[in-house]
Structure 1
Amino acid sequence: MEPAFTDQYLWTSDNVRLHYRDYAGGAGGRPALLCLPGLTRNARDFEAFAGRYAPRFRVITPSFRGRGDSGYARDPLTYVPLTYLQDMGRLLDAAMVDKVVIVGTSLGGLIGLLLDVTQRQRIAGLALNDVGPDMNPEGLARIRIGLGKGGNWPSWLTAARDIARRQADLYPHWGLDQWLAHAKRLCRVSRAGPIMWDYDPEIAAPLNLPHGDQQLDLWLALDSYRDRPLLSVRGALSDILAADTQAKMAARMPMLSAVTVPGVGHAPTLEEPEAVAALDDFLGRFG
């Protein structure tokens, strides 16, 4: 059963209203857990995660601008990492967080890496879910091509079946119940009635610019975490994070532990037994 949370909101510097769920559990002295979702995802991705860890930790699950219950940006070119970094720094201030462990899936993990530039004094550790300093170009192309495609399904069942068809290679062992739950995390009921993706299609705009997907030197960003606990979770079928990249991360970072989740692509839900065991061990370092 999901623990109780409060819906919290704040305004960004360019007047976009951000939403986050605040699961105010945990005892004093432990850092909060800031859970950052992937490119097209939102706060609902971490419902099960909060159910496991909110009794021990305060869990904060935001939706980036343009996703979930957060507002859409007037300027689509603000859908970029620099703006997300500014937004999350503002969120940590608003939530009055002194110490935080970041759990980031895909884009959320990259933002977690980069947040250390401005929030180093706050960040106690980082868990990266199926992302690393090097990412497979073919996997990135798959994500880019699929952005905003489809939608307008007449029912949840239709949406779940279509998403299952599109993503069968990512979760080959899922049944219909899992696809339905997945669809309800990814989508919403539109005002007009049909089921729609729960994100602004304009989040793709920066990726369509020349060099819009050009990467920063994320290995240097990873190096900044050398003195703190790290966890890398990888889907065995991932087309984003290669096994050799994860191995290189582990060799480079003495405080990093790594786990591979079998039978899953990009990205693990963090509900898989292997992921849960790794998270339990990682978060056990913080009390």
Structure 2
Amino acid sequence: MAAQQTFSDLFYSAPDGLKLHARIYGEGIRGAWPVVCLPGLSRNARDFHDLAIHLSQRQERPRMVAVFDYRGRGLSAYDRNWKNYNVVVEADDVGAGLIAAGIQKGHFIGTSRGGLIIHRLGAVRPTALKSIVLNDIGPVVEGEGLAQIRSYLERSPKPRDMDEAVTIQRAAHGAAFPALSEADWQRFAAAIYREQKGRPVADFDPALLKMVKGFDLDKPIPAIWHLFEALRGFPMLVVRGANSKLLSAATLAEMAHRHPNCRTLTVEGQGHPPMLETGDLPQTIAGFFDQVETSD
């Protein structure tokens, strides 16, 4: 059990036997549908820590929250075959994690890569979905945003300590996130890095960069509107950072136009992706889930 007893660690086997990890907040809570949180490409379960505490400990309708580390990230084992770092395999891994956590259906929150995995789950495991929150991701991924992610992952300096890690992250992302406070930047960095031999290192398999380098930015990125159509039956909230380069305002508007029950929210002063524990976002997300259930 973690410090302050806020979550427990769940280790389980992927379909191919790889050892994977998830955090479970509010284990044993009944009476409300659980929440499943899926992080971004190179990120891990720590991204959702504060939001998960809010959702699992609120006085009105607390919920169990499961937050997954994909293979090669966080406490999940690294894959010897880096080509398995893809949405199809990771969606199957999440499916195995749902079984291990005893979750048959839940509200899903997907940040960036996590939102793409939700699109995949809508096609192969739709009965698991109760509602959907997409954090700065949609059926159209802008090449400029993908180029920024690749550049950051390939060129990010290696910090000597956590203070320098915060400085590096602010230098890389500060222009897109003017709304963040010092405490926000410290949480931002703490979620990215783990300590290794007394120094912070990015908490993902370096082989993940091989997949990132495979992005062909000279060709248009295929849209996945056909997968988005499979999500039209689920209540949806789409959060976009006002300064995002990955999810355009035009795509956000088209998502709302195509989906009969889609709310949109633009977060000022943040880029890709907005930090879901900041401002009124925890209350907004919790209220969205509550409304979904009371309208059943």
The alignment yields a C-alpha RMSD, in angstroms, of: 2.1
* 8 Å CA contact retained: 1:148, 1:197: no
**Contact preservation (8 Å) 2:140, 2:222:** no
Question: Quick one: which of 43, 50, 53 aligns to 2:52?
Answer: 50
Shift of 1:49: 0.7
Task: Give the Cα–Cα distance (whole angstroms) in 2 for the partners of residues 236 and 274 of structure 1.
Answer: 15
Pair 1:60 & 2:66 matched: yes
In 2, Cα distance between equivalents of 1:5 and 1:222: 32
Instruction: Report what 1:116 is aligned to.
Output: 122
1:193 to 168, 174, 198: 198
Q: Which amino acid aligns with 2:106?
A: V
> What secondary structure is seen at the aligned counterpart in 2 of 1:121?
helix
User: Alpha carbons of 1:217 and 1:163: their partners in 2 closer, same or farther (altered >3 Å)?
Assistant: closer
Q: Residue 186 of structure 2 aligns with which residue?
A: 180
Q: 2-11 or 203-212: which moved more? A: 203-212
Residue 105 of structure 2 is matched in structure 1 by 99
For the residues of structure 1 that align with 2:220 and 2:22, how far apart are their CA atoms?
A: 29
Tell me which residue corresponds to 1:130. 136
* Residue 19 (structure 2) aligns with: 17
Q: How far is 1:163 from its partner?
A: 1.3
The residue matched to 1:7 in structure 2 has which SS? Answer: strand
Percent pairwise identity? 32
In structure 1, what is the Cα distance between the partners aligned to 2:36 and 2:274?
18
- Secondary structure, counterpart of 1:268 in structure 2: coil
The match for 1:31 is 33
Distance 1:2 1:286, change over 3 A: farther
Contact in 1 for aligned 2:137/2:247 (Cα 8 Å)? yes
Shift of 1:265: 0.4
CA–CA separation in structure 2 for the residues paired with 1:2 and 1:283: 26
Structure 1 residue 14: Cα displacement:
2.8
Task: Give the 5 Å matches for 1:1-287.
Answer: 4-25=6-27, 27-55=29-57, 56-190=62-196, 192-209=197-214, 217-284=223-290, 285-286=292-293
| Partner Cα distance (2:4, 2:53) in 1 | 5
Paired residue secondary structure (1:54): helix
Distance 1:281 1:188, change over 3 A: same
Amino acid aligned to 1:21: R
What CA distance in whole angstroms lies between the structure 2 residues aligned with 1:114 and 1:186? 25
Alpha-carbon separation, structure 1, partners of 2:245 and 2:223? 20
Is this contact kept in 2: 1:3–1:54, CA < 8 A? no
TM-score by length of 1: 0.93
Distance 2:184 2:247 in 1: 23
**Segment drifting more, 268-277 vs 218-227:** 268-277
Q: Which moved more, 1:199-208 or 1:35-44?
A: 199-208
User: Relative to 1, partners in 2 of residues 1:140 and 1:2: Cα closer, same or farther, differing over 3 Å?
Assistant: farther
**d(CA) in 1 for partners of 2:6, 2:257:** 40
Q: Is the 8 A contact 1:102 1:125 kept in 2?
A: yes
One-letter amino acid of the counterpart of residue 6, structure 1: S
Cα distance change, pair 44–58 in 1 and its aligned pair in 2 (3 A): same
- Does the 8 A contact of 1:238 with 1:264 survive in 2? yes
Superposition deviation, residue 177 in structure 1: 2.8
1:8 partner letter: L
Please say which of residues 53-62 and 168-177 is displaced more in the overlay.
168-177
Give the paired residue count.
Answer: 286
Q: Return 5+ residue gaps in structure 2 as ranges.
A: none
Q: More deviation in 3-12 or 99-108?
A: 3-12
TM-score by length of 2: 0.90
